[in-house]
Amino acid sequence: MKIGWIGTGIMGGPMAGYLQAAGHELVVHTRTKSRAAGLLAKGAVWCEAPSEVAARCEVLFSIVGYPADVRSTYLGREGVLLGAPSCHTIVDMTTSQPSLAKEIAERAGQLHIAALDAPVSGGDVGAREGTLAIMVGGDSEAFERIRWLLERMGGTISLMGPAGAGQHTKMCNQILVAGTMIGVCESLLYAARQGMDQNAIIGVIGSGAARSFLINNLGPRIAAGDYAPGFVVDHFVKDMGIALQEAEAAKLSLPGLALVRQLYVALQAQGGGGCGTQGLFLALDKLNGIG
């Protein structure tokens, strides 16, 4: 199958690689061409614009940075839906606004193209290992038609409802991640203040009732002083902002999420926007005058 792929960053590169390894022909575009070098070296074809990708593939996937990037990719002057697309299905895997997912689906429908919003969870580890959780919104027939492709990239593939439902599910995910992340960082900060071995602490509490993906996967990075991104702070702040906007529109108060977002904004102010989400430890460290 000819597959279009837009966005080959920390997540998108490995995800596209799984489809390429399965024998599919890739046509790719990304903002910085060098980020696609690995795929190009294995036979992927470079395109200069999203509209060119759409004109040369059957199914098109995208995973870019922000809602503005999604809008530009699909609805911009050289966007997927404003050229002469040959694709029958588009799948945006960016974490973005539910309302934008609905808008894209409506525009795609006018062109007789199926549109799915399919954000993912699992970070760089899940992308590299092909174990992502993929939460999908859109038409059930379109979902079943390309499900086998999603299964190349993820371990849990779920259709959650109509257009926008995938994004709403991802908001639920990010709300939970935010609450868990502050717990992980405060726990390990407490361990450090008490002179405990953080790795030893992780080994015990990571196997009991407090176990989670975050303590067992990002906890050791904190203990090692490794704040390299699996998922960058700048993007997480964006996600939490979307969740808070959606909550406000629904007249829903989420004080825990609001607090965690403010702490991450403080980390951005300290120059940590490019860190992984475990970088929250640095902001709490500074807040307590330890670091």
Structure tokens of 152? 């190349």
Look at the block and give the residue holding tokens 């790795």.
199
DSSP codes, the chain: -EEEEE--STTHHHHHHHHHHTTPEEEEE-SSGGGGHHHHHTT-EE-SSHHHHHTT-SEEEE--SSHHHHHHHHHSTT-GGGS----SEEEE-S---HHHHHHHHHHHHHTT-EEEE--EESHHHHHHHT-EEEEEES-HHHHHHHHHHHTTTEEEEEEEESTTHHHHHHHHHHHHHHHHHHHHHHHHHHHHHTT--HHHHHHHHTTSTT--HHHHHTHHHHHTT----SSBHHHHHHHHHHHHHHHHHTT---HHHHHHHHHHHHHHHTT-TTSBGGGHHHHHHHHTT--
> Which residues form the catalytic set?
170
